Amino acid sequence: VVHYLKDYQAPDFAVADINLTFSLEDAYATVLNRMTVVPRQADKPCVLDGSAELLQIVLNGKSLCPHEYAVADEKLIIHAVPDSEFVLEITTKLYPAQNKTLMGLYESGDNLYTQNEPEGFRKITYYFDRPDVMSQFTTTIIGDKQRYPVMLSNGNLIDSGELDNGRHWVCWRDPFAKPSYLFALVAGQLAVLEGSFTTRSGKEVALKFYTRPEDRAKAGFALESLKHAMQWDEDRFNLEYDLNIFMVVAVSDFNMGAMENKGLNIFNTKYVLASSDTATDADFEAIEGVIGHEYFHNWTGNRVTCRDWFQLSLKEGLTVFRDQEFSADRASRAVRRIHNVRVLRSMQFAEDAGPMAHPVRPASYEEMNNFYTLTVYEKGAEVVRMYHTLLGEAGFQKGMQLYFQRHDGQAVTCDDFRAAMADANGVNLEQFALWYSQAGTPQIKAHGEYDAGNRTFSLHLQQYIPPTPDMADKQPMVIPVKVGLLGRDGTSVVFRLADTDAVVEETVLVFNQAQQTFVFHDVAQEVVPSLLRGFSAPVRLDYPYSDADLMLLLAHDSDSFARWEAAQTLYRRAVAANVVALEANQPAPHHAELAEAITAALNADIDPAYKAVLLQVPTEAELWEDAQSINPELYVRARQALLQDLAASMEDTLTHWRTWADTQEQNSKHAAPQEYHPDLAGVRSLRNILLQWGVQASAQVLQTIASEYTQRATNMTHEFGMLSAINHLSDDKRDELLNQFAQRHAHDDLVMDKYFVLIGSSQRADTLQQVQAALQHPAFSLENPNKVRSLLGSFSRNIQHFHAADGSGYRFIAEHILRIDGFNPQVASRLVQAFNLYGRLEPQRKALMAEQLQRIQQHEGLSKDSREIVDKILRD
Ligand code: ARG
Ligand code: ZN
């Protein structure tokens, strides 16, 4: 069944309140759902969503007979209901230990957890399982005191007591109306780490982090992150927390990163637990970001929620924007922005150019779980960022205030958000709506010329929105293009936009027609434009820069994004030249000038984290953006050849800065330099990427790593950095160090995930065999999504081996998709997207991939999750 945005209809019933009673037994649970239902129109049958085993239905105190209702296709239809308010009591029976989908109520390590977004609640009881039905939830949980000492749900604990037979009960009440997807329940043996936060109006909020007892000590950083997030939301968005308690529960079996259930967030352990000897600096940063993200949902998602799932980006795009800003305000704004852009360009642009392309607000879906995508999240965040760029911080915050004034307590649409932004600022944002309805990455062709006589610089822009499977012809969009001008000496050149305007150094052009020319006046000299500063729009921009222009921007641009981008373009050109050479069976050329430019940039006075990102060569997905009939292996080789060439010419510089990084850390004024700190994280990230380059330059680096290993391995950033650097080498020393690592961390499942990532992403010739062997490792389990993502996910992104010319990589992943699809469709259908490149592959690989895709398509009982994806890919 395909669901369409255009078919939306308001619900026929409202729910005044809902009372849930969970009785937790040894092998099952029963749920009594007592709700007060209010018809919004007369004579409508009552249709509820649900798939749980149904024990009983009672309407206004009378048990219903089988002929009074029907159950089919995950719906319960009650043929006749009263025209006015009635009470419906439905009892269901659940088997959480057998639920391997990790949706609804499920067991993980003897404890019980829920995941209900988007449509998990229907696995628990029968309900109007859609976000525009909001109600007040009261939840009673009854269970054995030994087995379930901790029993949690949303809101405030209002009562509890003892029962016979060693059982006890608790009652939670959430005073805020919410949709079913925000309902949560947790029960089991859990340790708690407590803290508190006093809000600006003086309310003390109890903060509680629940973990396995042995993990409690590792939740401290997440707790501190939460306090920072609460403070930041008050300071920057004027938003205060609204309950007296905020709980976070960590669980190791979890389909996604985390979930913002009201007052009771449930997190993948990966985004809660950290200590410097088990988590990398990047892990610490991800924890801070995800803790922020889920907390920020309390306003953008929970207080104001989505009308329907097509509007998912209303809460996700906005909340990702908020978490990005939180992280940027905490530290290293420039480097964080670059990091976000890199993720967007290497992953979301690829999604937008493939069979799954869809607008930020999809027009249709079969399985909603397939639409928790990079487009909805990351491109959605860029769309929100464009409002911010167009309206400025003050204008954007005015828009936010109006949004909450109008819609607190409501389920609304992306249009409502846009209207609040427009109305609060008295501007017209009609055309901006296209960002929500047109898929595909806009492409801008630009060129410019200087007129010395008139002292003008004219910038000509032309936009093109490529067709996507859902739409052929597209309208021109509103694209904010932030621009500055550099003189030939690298200094910033001022200009006026019109004769009456003030002199400025930078401006945001509002480019909203198919073609447009912008004239800069009073330009004193010949200039090189610095375009799309800060990556002011999620587009691809092509300007006919000479290499010398790009080197000028790399050396002098005051905008750190544009400066980094100049290096990216230079790398891209160099790899493209290598591709051409390798295709013609020629050796890859030597790139002496690029090596000099990068050396100069490294030696400039910039912060180490920024040096580290300057050394990132674009990913293969970015390199083949424009290509058709792709031979993926060629790109790996071309990119590799560039790295080797540059590293060889830059060996002394690389060693110099690596030694510098070591002394920085040793002489640091921080009392515990092995602990996470943004400054030290920057130094370590530089050291680790220098190690990777260093290994390309000389085999000697392996010896250095091996000899320093034990001393440095007390910090996971170093340990993982060293292993990553040598992970592709065929030397036995690599296996030896990896095996030691696995043995030392065998008891820590999050560190074992890192081991599986290393195995799955290695370029060694024997990688497929090593991955197959790792499937048998005692720490591995196909039922744990983190394990699947670590080993199989990393292998599916391992370009050389997944796209092996003999088809072995495709076959291996297809087999495992089918094994996983039988019990966890969500995880399986994510893996199916490894095949997204299908339509753009060279013929031989395309044929090999087709075989495996058809095999998946023809598999009996294939989930609708995987089917939707595989059908779309094969149509491409
Ligand atoms: N709302 C969650 C978040 O972004 C993600 C939930 C995704 N759930 C899913 N079943 N796909 O924080
Ligand atoms: Zn979210």
pLDDT in tens, 352-368: 999 999 999 999 999 99
CB 536 within 8 A of CB 485: no
Q: Point out the ligand 1 atom lying closest to the alpha carbon of residue 369.
A: 11
Task: Pick the ligand that lies closest to the CA of residue 254.
Answer: 1
| Rounded distance between C-alpha atoms, residue 121 and residue 114, angstroms | 9
Best probe residue, ligand 1, of 295, 323, 372 (max atoms within 8 Å of C-beta)? 372
DSSP conformation class of 876: -
Q: Point out the ligand 1 atom lying closest to the alpha carbon of residue 294.
A: 12
Give pLDDT, residue 277.
96
- Taking residues 48-74, report their average pLDDT: 97
pLDDT in tens, 215-270: 999 999 999 999 999 999 999 999 999 999 999 999 999 999 999 999 999 999 99
Query: With a 6 A CB cut-off, is 265 part of the ligand 1 pocket?
Result: no
pLDDT at 653 over 90: yes
Residue 422, SS3? helix
In one letter, which amino acid is 381? A
| Rounded distance between C-alpha atoms, residue 419 and residue 422, angstroms | 5
- Bridge partners, residue 515, by sequence: 462
CB 736 within 8 A of CB 743: no
Query: With a 6 A CB cut-off, is 260 part of the ligand 1 pocket?
Result: yes
Tokens linked to 856: 């998946």
Residue 48 Cα to ligand 2 midpoint, Å, equals 26
Q: Point out the ligand 1 atom lying closest to the alpha carbon of residue 103.
A: 10
Task: Pick the ligand that lies closest to the CA of residue 317.
Answer: 2
- For residue 753, what are the contacts with CB-CB under 8 A and spacing of at least 6? 270, 786, 787, 789, 790
**Ion ligand 2 nearby residues (CB, 5 A):** 316, 319
Residue 382 Cα to ligand 1 midpoint, Å, equals 19
pLDDT in tens, 35-50: 999 999 999 999 999 9
Best probe residue, ligand 1, of 256, 272, 319 (max atoms within 8 Å of C-beta)? 256
The phi, psi pair for 29, rounded to 5°, reads: -140, 145
Task: Pick the ligand that lies closest to the CA of residue 381.
Answer: 2
- Bridge partners, residue 410, by sequence: none
pLDDT in tens, 679-717: 999 999 999 999 999 999 888 889 999 999 999 888 999
Query: With a 6 A CB cut-off, is 372 part of the ligand 1 pocket?
Result: yes
Tokens linked to 9: 């209809």
Residue 521, Cβ neighbours under 10 Å: how many?
15
Query: With a 6 A CB cut-off, is 368 part of the ligand 1 pocket?
Result: no
CA-nearest of 251, 301, 248 to 96 is: 251
DSSP per-residue letters across 657-678: HHHHHHHHHHT-S-SSTTS--H
Diameter of the chain measured on Cα atoms: 95
For atom 1 of ligand 1, the residue with the nearest CA is: 259
Residue 67 Cα to ligand 1 midpoint, Å, equals 38
- Taking residues 57-66, report their average pLDDT: 97
CA-nearest of 685, 693, 761, 565 to 281 is: 685
Tokens linked to 439: 């898929």
Residue 258 Cα to ligand 1 midpoint, Å, equals 7
pLDDT in tens, 561-583: 999 999 999 999 999 999 999 99
For atom 2 of ligand 1, the residue with the nearest CA is: 259
pLDDT at 500 over 90: no
What global pTM score does this model have? Answer: 0.98
- Taking residues 723-742, report their average pLDDT: 96
- Taking residues 630-638, report their average pLDDT: 98
Burial class of residue 165, CB neighbours in 10 A (0-12, 13-18, 19+): exposed
Query: With a 6 A CB cut-off, is 850 part of the ligand 1 pocket?
Result: no
What percentage of residues in the chain have a pLDDT greater than 90?
98
| Rounded distance between C-alpha atoms, residue 2 and residue 20, angstroms | 31
Per-residue pLDDT band for 501 (boundaries 50, 70, 90) equals confident
Tokens linked to 481: 């293009």
* Mean of the per-residue pLDDT values of the chain: 97
Per-residue pLDDT band for 124 (boundaries 50, 70, 90) equals very high
Task: Pick the ligand that lies closest to the CA of residue 258.
Answer: 1
For atom 3 of ligand 1, the residue with the nearest CA is: 259
Distance (Å) of CA 482 to CA 530, 562, 720: 8, 10, 38
Tokens linked to 78: 């009650």
pLDDT in tens, 166-188: 999 999 999 999 999 999 999 99
- Parallel/antiparallel/unpaired status of strands 540-542 and 443-451: parallel
Residue 671, Cβ neighbours under 10 Å: how many?
6
Residue 518, SS3? strand
CA-nearest of 471, 472, 479, 462 to 514 is: 462
Give pLDDT, residue 699.
83
Complex prediction ipTM: 0.97
- For residue 539, what are the contacts with CB-CB under 8 A and spacing of at least 6? 441, 442, 443, 444, 463, 479, 532
pLDDT in tens, 401-455: 999 999 999 999 999 999 999 999 999 999 999 999 999 999 999 999 999 999 9
CA 542 to chain centre: 27
For atom 5 of ligand 1, the residue with the nearest CA is: 259
- Taking residues 847-854, report their average pLDDT: 98
Best probe residue, ligand 1, of 102, 117, 824 (max atoms within 8 Å of C-beta)? 117
Please give the positions annotated as active site.
294
Query: With a 6 A CB cut-off, is 59 part of the ligand 1 pocket?
Result: no
DSSP per-residue letters across 592-609: HHHHHHHHHHHHSS--HH
pLDDT at 476 over 90: yes
| Rounded distance between C-alpha atoms, residue 66 and residue 75, angstroms | 14
Report the phi/psi class of residue 444: left, alpha or beta, with left for phi > 0 and alpha for psi in -120 to 50: beta
CB 260 within 8 A of CB 182: yes
pLDDT at 499 over 90: no
CA-nearest of 324, 379, 374, 323 to 347 is: 374
DSSP per-residue letters across 723-766: HHHHTT--SHHHHHHHHHHHHHTTT-HHHHHHHHHHHHH--STT
Give pLDDT, residue 596.
98
Give pLDDT, residue 384.
99
Per-residue pLDDT band for 876 (boundaries 50, 70, 90) equals confident
CA-nearest of 771, 728, 719, 772 to 748 is: 719
- Taking residues 660-664, report their average pLDDT: 95
- Parallel/antiparallel/unpaired status of strands 305-306 and 411-412: parallel
Tokens linked to 645: 């060439």
Give pLDDT, residue 671.
87
| Rounded distance between C-alpha atoms, residue 623 and residue 576, angstroms | 8
Tokens linked to 646: 């540059």
